[in-house]
Chain A
């Protein structure tokens, strides 16, 4: 039966004001039930304060074959990383 239900990707925002993070996927007949199922499957241990669900088929993804042209040009360009100065503690999460 669950084979007939579409797959949903689940994103949960944790307690500390961080952005939503992908936690996994599940099957459900529609968005409302996907959120209920996500609550039961992924937030039993007080993991989150907000849930997003997205139909897996609605996610456009880069393909692994394009890895070279997409990502390699940024290799060995350390100056693109903001690591050459100290971030004050008060800034919090960056």
Chain B
């Protein structure tokens, strides 16, 4: 049933953007420098814009639900974001490494989706890729600067990488939905995303003098709705107002 798979794709793309944006938003007013604060908020806003498009599409396939309905009225089990994006912000190194590992997947993923057999998917991907290319350029640059920076910045980046690297595998490992989508030409084969991700991440880490953990177990489940406890707290903050005052507008 291709439409169910398409909807799943739109939910996964949209939920990744939504949850990461919500995480990044928590830095607003707290980042280590004013310029970083603004840059992170910009990234978050880009991702919220993309969320509107993806969840708008998923809602349309679900019979006229809006992006807001899907963002504010689903429980954790119905969210399809990967575990990586829901992980806590930690220190700035953790936030940057999480962003970098995500961007390095997001860019080749969108590039591939621009060729989707579903023109609505291809259109959203084409609109998003310009923003995401910049996110990747920026997070790559910061990973190199801080990895190959002071003793302290290096140690913090390495520890963030050790913590978050195991979560990246989920984005790159196809499940039955990914395989069905690739077969129908609706999405690309995740193997090609994996090789683009690997070569970009390996080159960046080498320049950053950081070392990826070897044989790290892959932490996964988010794509199927099996989340870490972290997501509950994210959703509580994101959804409480619409839950307490359904349909409230201002």
Which listed residue, B32, B39, B141, B145, touches A40 by the CB 8 Å rule? B39
Q: Is the CB of B35 within 8 A of A2?
A: yes
A29 to chain B: which residues have CB within 8 Å?
145
The residues of A with any CB-CB pair to B shorter than 8 Å are 1-2, 5, 26-29, 32-33, 36-37, 39-41, 44
Q: Is B34 an interface residue (CB 8 A)?
A: yes
Q: Is the CB of B42 within 8 A of A44?
A: yes
Q: Is the CB of A2 within 8 A of B34?
A: yes
Bound: A5/B138 CA distance, A = 18
A39 to chain B: which residues have CB within 8 Å?
134
Q: What are 15 A-to-B residue pairs whose CB atoms are below 8 Å? A: A1-B32, A2-B32, A2-B33, A2-B34, A5-B33, A26-B34, A28-B35, A32-B141, A33-B141, A36-B137, A36-B141, A37-B38, A40-B38, A40-B42, A44-B42
Q: Is the CB of B39 within 8 A of A36?
A: yes
A32 to chain B: which residues have CB within 8 Å?
141
Give the A-B pair count, Cβ closer than 8 A: 32
B196-233 toward A: CB 8 Å interface, digit per residue (1/0)?
A: 00000000000000000000000000000000000000
A28 to chain B: which residues have CB within 8 Å?
35
A37 to chain B: which residues have CB within 8 Å?
35, 38-39
A33 to chain B: which residues have CB within 8 Å?
141, 145
Bound: A36/B142 CA distance, A = 11
Q: Is the CB of B39 within 8 A of A27?
A: no
Q: Is the CB of A27 within 8 A of B138?
A: no
B9-38 toward A: CB 8 Å interface, digit per residue (1/0)?
A: 000000000000000000000001111001
